[in-house]
Chains A and B, each alone.
Chain A
Amino acid sequence: MPLLDVNDLTTYFHTRNGVVRAVDGVSFQLEKGETLGIVGESGSGKSVTCMSMLGLIPQPPGRIERGTATFDGTDLLHCSPKELQSIRGRRIAMIFQDPMTSLNPYLRIEDQLIEPLLIHGLADKASAKKQALEMLDAVGIQDAASRIRGYPHEFSGGMRQRVMIAMALITKPDVLIADEPTTALDVTVQAQILELIKKEQQELGTAVILITHDLGVVSGFCDRINVMYGGKIVESGPTKEIFYNPQHPYNRALQNSIPALQAKGKELYTIPGMPPDMSKPSAGCSFAPRCEHATHLCTAEPPELQSLGQAHTTACLRVQRENLKP
């Protein structure tokens, strides 16, 4: 049985300008200790998917329309707030993109680090402080004993993200959700932070969900990847399959448009048009208006994720029915 089983998760935002279908029927599983990447452009619903599971969507305007997210026998979407609270931050932890705004500027690092332990009643204050110091040391902050008494503004961006990781992992969670953890950081610091998450993951056996827009980051980090577009998963599979055997036209187009994979000076492939307006539902595939392979079929019927073998699934009617090849 998977550790986390998300089934048909659907989150809509009911705004004055209509219903925004941010996440529209997303299903995936997460096994114990594995690393899952969720890739997509801004507005594809990758963050909302994870926030919905943890009850972090402001309601209203947001509403979880349907679906289940079963974590170790508990449905996170339908359990009581109390039950959710005992899981969130303790067994499922999250780190956010911007380490500059996610720490409380008024509190010492120490007070913020021990908070998860105290709230979940995992330790008394004295032993919590001891654990906080060990954790801060483990995430590679030098001179942790004196830095722990400092305030967030005394730390650089990379160090703050290390503090965030320490805070998330201090309860030894089963799942760590990292939402663009390195996007605000420089490349050399990004390499440090990714290495750190990997190291801690191996030590604690934590499963990691990594949300990012950067295909480069997931390629070396994740076991499996979900590619999201327009609030849906359009392709899912083992990392190598996603990169070396891309099936969905969006996934293929995305890889053709990254400069890193193309010969220098070569004209980059561009996806025509713009990402879909999520408040206007489309009858068919949401990528159809931008897809060069789209036919009348694609605009009429919504595609479902179907297996192509080797745990590789894709949601493209032409690939499924007509065996469309790049």
Chain B
Amino acid sequence: MSDAYLQIDNLKTHFPVEKGILFRKVTGTVKAVDGVSLSLAKGEVLGLVGESGCGKSTLGSTVLQLIKPTAGTVTLGDRTLTDLDGKELRSARADFQMIFQDPYASLNPRMTVYSMLAEAIQAHRKTPKAELANAVGALMEKVGLAARFMRKYPHEFSGGQRQRIAIARALAVEPKLIIADEPVSALDVSIQAQILNLLSDLTREMELTMVFISHDLSVVKHISDRIAVMYLGRIVEIGPATKVFEHPQHPYTKALCSAVPMPDPDSESTRKRILLPGDPPSPLNPPSGCTFHPRCPHAEERCQAAWPSFESLNNDTHQAACVRLTELNQ
């Protein structure tokens, strides 16, 4: 796609596993992200779902160059982030920011809201001190916090309010790309709705491109334009949000969708659940071929041979990586 704003090509992040204290030996590699290609248009929200350990957070950190990739490229606008270093990278960071899961751990307990946000503003845009308070106040109001709270410390706020502060901090540099790593997972349902509304309003108003990482399919479906499903370091299915959620094609996505409990007793009693055997395998020693084959109810011998390529059933943007895609979806 030529109009892509964020382009990720065959991105790989491998971590060496070492043994020994004096003579460290590499005994294996964890392939946390293993060949992911994605492209996002400007203003698009992509939901990234998967179970714990599938590499979705590592993918987010790698895109933002918080972890250096083993291979592959990330291009944002006209800049190739994977080629940047030191100072260049630091100045490029004004364009992309991250929101973390736990608002209790991601805010410095010894800094006031003012000093946290002012620091973020100053980092990329020299602002005179006199204007700083106004800028911080405007930022706080943007995320739904009263500006008069700016001299308070994080412990004086509730979980939802803290997440608002974390969002304000990410927005301080006026970024174009936001990676939100499980931003609502630590929050109660009623607070979760507030933050989801805020995020979708902000992306619309500021034309933000966002990667929304979560393990909760119903939350992802609500906020995203497209959904990508990850399993063991790779994307197994990608497509428009409602299509992926309502008509999943890959056997893993099917199982995942059927496992999500719906708050609706009637559909819950009639729905057939696909129960997957076992736990997700260790990325240290992934199975051969399609990494899902040991848990897949439809696996055949050829599934063990090679990683399947992406295919589309109706020649549209909804694609899945499964060799039996056509026969399983008739």
- Give me the interface of A with B, judged by CB distance under 8 Å: 41-42, 156-159, 186-192, 194-195, 213-217, 219-220, 239-240, 243-244, 253-255, 257-262, 264-265, 267-271, 274-275
A288 shortest CB reach to chain B, Å: 15
> In the complex, are the beta carbons of B197 and A41 less than 8 A apart?
no
Q: Which of B165-190 contact A (CB under 8 A)?
A: 188-190
Question: Are B262 and A219 in contact, CB atoms less than 8 angstroms apart?
Answer: yes
Of A42, A195, A216, the residue contacting B260 (CB under 8 A) is: A216
User: B269: which of A189, A216, A220 is its contact (CB, 8 Å)?
Assistant: A220
CB distance from A199 to the nearest CB of B (A): 11
Q: Contact partner of A187 among B158, B189, B215, CB < 8 A? A: B215
Residues in B with CB closer than 8 Å to A271 are 190, 193
Further contacts, 10 of them, CB under 8 A, given A191-B276, A216-B268? A158-B279, A187-B259, A187-B260, A188-B259, A244-B266, A257-B190, A258-B218, A259-B222, A261-B263, A261-B264
Q: Residue-by-residue, is B185-224 near A (CB-CB < 8 Å gives 1, otherwise 0)? A: 0001110111011001000000000000001011101110
B266 touches A240 (CB 8 A): yes
Q: When A42-B188, A265-B222 are in contact, do A188 and B276 touch as well, CB less than 8 Å?
A: yes
Residue B160 lies at the interface, judged by CB distance under 8 Å to chain A: yes
Measured between beta carbons, the chain B residues less than 8 angstroms from A189 are 51, 279
Interface, chain B (partner A; CB < 8 A): 51-52, 158, 160, 188-190, 192-194, 196-197, 200, 215, 217-219, 221-223, 241-242, 255-256, 258-266, 268-269, 271, 273, 275-276, 279-280
Also in contact, A259 and B51, with CB within 8 A (given A41-B190, A215-B263): no
Q: Which residues of A contact B192 (CB under 8 A)?
A: 257
- Are B193 and A220 in touch, CB under 8 angstroms? no
Given A187-B51, A195-B275, verify A270-B194 contact (CB < 8 Å).
yes
- The CA of A187 and the CA of B257, in the complex, are separated in Å by 9
**B contact residues around A188 at 8 Å (CB):** 51, 255-256, 259, 275-276
**Contact of A243 with B264 in the complex, beta carbons under 8 Å:** yes
Min CB gap A157→B, angstroms: 8
**B263 and A264 form a contact (CB under 8 A):** no
Chain B residues, Cβ within 8 Å of A262:
222
B52 CB, min distance to chain A CBs, angstroms:
6
Q: From B273, which residue of chain A is reached at the shortest CB distance? A: A191
In the complex, what's the smallest C-beta–C-beta distance from B190 to chain A, in angstroms? Answer: 4
With contacts A243-B264, A258-B263 taken as known, whether A264 is within 8 angstroms of B189 at the C-beta atoms is no
Which 4 A-B residue pairings sit nearest by Cβ, starting from the closest? Answer: A220-B268, A216-B261, A259-B222, A260-B218
Query: How distant is A198 from chain B, measured CB to nearest CB, in Å?
Result: 11
Cα A213 to Cα B266 with chains together (Å): 20
Q: Hey, which chain B residues are within 8 Å of A159, CB to CB?
A: 279
Kindly state the separation between the CA atoms of A264 and B275 in the bound complex, as whole angstroms. Answer: 26
In this complex, what residue of B is CB-closest to A269?
B193
B321 to chain A, nearest CB (A): 18
Instruction: List chain B residues, Cβ under 8 A from A42.
Output: 188
Do most interface residues of chain A lie in helix, strand or loop, or is the interface mixed?
helix
Report whether B268 and A219 are in contact in the complex, using a CB–CB cutoff of 8 Å: yes
- The closest CB in chain A to the CB of B220 belongs to A259
Q: Is there contact, CB below 8 Å, between B265 and A240?
A: yes
Contact A259 B262 (CB under 8 A): no
**B189 is contacted by which of A156, A191, A213 (Cβ under 8 Å)?**
A213
**Given that A41-B188, A186-B280, A189-B279 are contacting pairs, would A260 and B193 also be in contact in the complex, using a CB cutoff of 8 Å?**
no
B218 touches A259 (CB 8 A): yes
With most chain B CB atoms within 10 A of its CB, the pick from A191, A213, A271 is A191
Please give the distance in Å from B174's CB to the nearest CB on chain A.
25
B193 adjacent to A213 (CB under 8 Å): no
The contact of A268 among B51, B222, B241, B271, by CB within 8 Å, is B222
Complexed CA–CA distance, A84 and B326 (Å): 60
Nearest A residue to B51, CB-CB: A186
Kindly provide the distance from the CB of A235 to the nearest chain B CB, expressed in whole angstroms: 15
Give the Cβ gap from A40 to chain B, nearest Cβ, in Å. 9
Q: Which B residue's beta carbon lies closest to that of A142?
A: B278
| A276 vs chain B, min Cβ distance (A) | 12
Q: CA separation between A215 and B263, bound complex, in Å?
A: 5
Of all chain B residues, the one with the shortest Cβ separation from A255 is B263
CB distance from B275 to the nearest CB of A (A): 6
Bound CA span A254–B217, Å: 18
- Complex CA distance for A259 and B185, rounded to whole angstroms: 13
A residues near B279, Cβ cutoff 8 Å: 156-159, 189
Q: Are A264 and B222 in contact (CB under 8 A)?
A: yes
Query: Shortest Cβ distance from A171 into chain B, in angstroms?
Result: 27
Q: With the chains together, A270 CA to B241 CA distance in Å? A: 23
Give chain B nearest CB distance to A45 CB in angstroms.
Answer: 14
Q: How far is the CB of B137 from chain A (nearest CB, A)?
A: 22
Cα separation A188 to B258 with both chains bound (whole Å): 9
User: Once the chains are docked, how many angstroms separate the CA of A213 from the CA of B184?
Assistant: 14
**Contacting pair B260 A268 (CB below 8 A):** no
A219 in contact with B242 (CB, 8 Å)? no
Are B256 and A259 interface neighbours, CB within 8 A? no
Q: Are A187 and B217 neighbours in the complex by a CB distance under 8 Å?
A: yes
Nearest-CB residue, chain B, relative to A261: B263
Min CB–CB distance A251 → chain B (angstroms):
11
